[in-house]
Amino acid sequence: MTEKGLTTLNIKKLNKSKVYHYIYRKKATSKLQIVQELEMGLSTVSQNLRILEEEGLIERNGYFDSTGGRKAQAIRIVADFRISIGVGILKNMFHMIAADLYGNVICTDTIALPYSNSPGYYRQVTEKIREFIARNCFEERKILGVSIATQGIISPDHEKVTYGKIMDNTGMHLTDFSRNLPYHCHLEHDSKAAACLELWNHPELDSAVVFLLNRNLGGAIITNHCIHQGNSMHSGAIEHICIDPEGALCYCGNRGCLETFCSVDALEQEAGMSVKDFFQRLREKQSAQLTENWKNYLDHLAFAIRNLNLVIDAPIILSGYLASYIQEEDIDYLSECINLKSPFSLNRKEILVGIHGQYTPAIGAALFYAEQFLNGI
C-alpha cells in the first residue's frame, strides 16, 4: 500500500474514533452538535455515523426538544454492544457481575463456595460463570472476556498469584480459570481492581489513596491517572502498615498491621457480631460499647490516612464492602481526627466514599475489558 493510501486509512479510522468517543462522552448528542464540537464537515460526520450505525456501535433513538425547525435525532452508543464479565473471588464466596461499555452493572450474582486451590473448585467456579452468562441470555460474541479479581499479589504478567496468604492461593494461575472458559480471561489483584473502578468513577483525579474496606483490608495508590503497581506489584498494600508492633497477630506473620484494626473481620471480631447487625444497632444509638468500637475503628483509620497523606498528598477514597455503611457523620468524625494532629490539613471534600459495596472488585475487574475495547475504537 502506498504511503498516501495508508494515511487516508489512518485519517478515516481516526475520524471514526473521534466521532464514537464524542458520542460516548456526551451520552446523547445530535449530528449538528458533533459537526460543531469536532469541527468536522457534515459529510464526514454523516459518513462516520452511517458506518458506526451499520456496525451496530451506535443507535439513533428519540428526538431532542425542538428549538424551532426540525427536531434533532438523539444519537447514542449502544452500551451493551459488548459485555464484560467481572468475578470477585473471596474465601467463602465469589461475586459475578456483567457490565456494559459504560461500566454500568447489568446483573450480579453471589455464590457461596469455599475457596480451595483444587481443580474441583475451579471447575465449579467456571461452570457457574458459564451458567451466569447463559441465564442472562448474553450472546457469546458479545462477551469481551472474564476478568477475575482475587485477594493476593499478582505477578507482573498477570498470570498468577505470587503472594496469597489470606486464601492460601499462592500459585493460583490464570489457566485454572481460562482452560474451562471459551473467553479471554484476565487476573487482577482485588485492591487494584477496586481502584480501577474508583478511578473510572472519578476521571478528574490525578492521584488518590484507595482503602478497600473489605473483609480483609486492601489498598491501592493512584498517581498520574494510573494504578501504581511497584517493582514487585505490592504498591498500596496498606493493610500491612504497622500501627502497633505489640498488637494482634496479622495473617502475614507480623503484629499490629492495619489489617488487625481496620478490616471488616477485625471490626466484627471486636464487636462480636456481623457488620450488618453492627451498623443496625450502632445507628439506633442504643449501645455505648458499639459506639466505642466504631470510634476506635475510625481512629485507627484516621491514623493511617494522616500518615499516608504525608506520602501522597491527594484525596482518600473509602471503597468496598464497608463503604456502603459509611455515613456523613462518620466522614465528619474521620476528618476531625485526621486534622487534629496533622501539620497539613486534609479537606473534608477530599474524603470520597465508593458506592458499589461488595461488588467493587468484580466491577473494577470487568472494566479491564471495557477499557480495552474502547481504546481499540
Positions that interact with Zn ion (CB under 5 A): 240, 250, 252, 254, 257
C-alpha torsion angle, residues 169, 144, 82, 25 (rounded to 10): 80
Handedness of CA 114, 120, 122, 123 (dihedral sign): negative
Q: Do the beta carbons of residue 87 and residue 79 sit within 8 Å?
A: no
Q: How far is the CB of 167 from Zn ion (least distance, A)?
A: 15
Q: How many Cβ atoms from other residues are within 10 Å of residue 42's Cβ? A: 11
| Closer of 148 and 264 to Zn ion (Cβ) | 264
Residue with Cβ nearer Zn ion (72 or 241): 241
State the nearest-atom distance from the C-beta of 252 to Zn ion, in Å: 3
Kindly state the smallest distance separating residue 283's Cβ from Zn ion, in Å. Answer: 31
- Least distance (Å) between residue 257 CB and Zn ion: 3
The C-alpha torsion from 306 through 311 and 312 to 313, rounded to 10°, is 60
**How many CA atoms lie less than 13 Å away from 328 in the CB half-sphere?**
0
Nearest alpha carbon to residue 59 among 36, 102, 14, 29: 29
Closer of 161 and 331 to Zn ion (Cβ): 161
> Please, which residue, 33 or 254, has the CB nearer to Zn ion?
254
Closest to Zn ion by CB, 165 or 281? 165
Beta carbon of residue 163, minimum distance to Zn ion (angstroms, whole number): 11
CB of 255 to Zn ion, least distance (A): 8
CA–CA separation, 260 vs 250, rounded Å?
Answer: 6
Strands (E), 11-103: 58-63, 73-77, 83-89, 93-99
The phi-psi region of residue 27 (left if phi > 0; otherwise alpha if psi is between -120 and 50; otherwise beta) is left
Task: Compare residues 268 and 371 and give the one whose CB is closer to Zn ion.
Answer: 268
Q: How many helices (H) and strands (E) does the chain have?
A: 12, 14
Q: In terms of CB distance, is 59 or 244 closer to Zn ion?
A: 244
The residues pairing with 110 across neighbouring beta strands, listed in sequence order, are: 95
Decide if 232 contacts 283 (C-beta within 8 A): no
Min separation Cβ 248 and Zn ion, Å: 10
Cβ proximity to Zn ion, 12 vs 240, nearer residue: 240
Output the smallest distance, CB 165 to Zn ion, in A.
9
DSSP string, 27-51: SSB-HHHHHHHHT--HHHHHHHHHH
Nearest-approach distance from CB 256 to Zn ion, in angstroms: 8
Nearest C-alpha neighbor of 95 from the set 169, 140, 158, 147? 147
Residue 149 or 250 having the CB closest to Zn ion: 250
Q: Measured from the CB of residue 44, what is the shortest distance to Zn ion in angstroms?
A: 58
Q: How far apart are CA 126 and CA 139, in angstroms?
A: 17
> Which residues have a Cβ under 8 Å from the Cβ of 249 and sit 6 or more positions away?
255, 260
> What number of residues does the chain have?
377
User: Residue holding cell 495508590?
Assistant: 221
Closer Cβ to Zn ion, 216 or 324, answer by number: 216
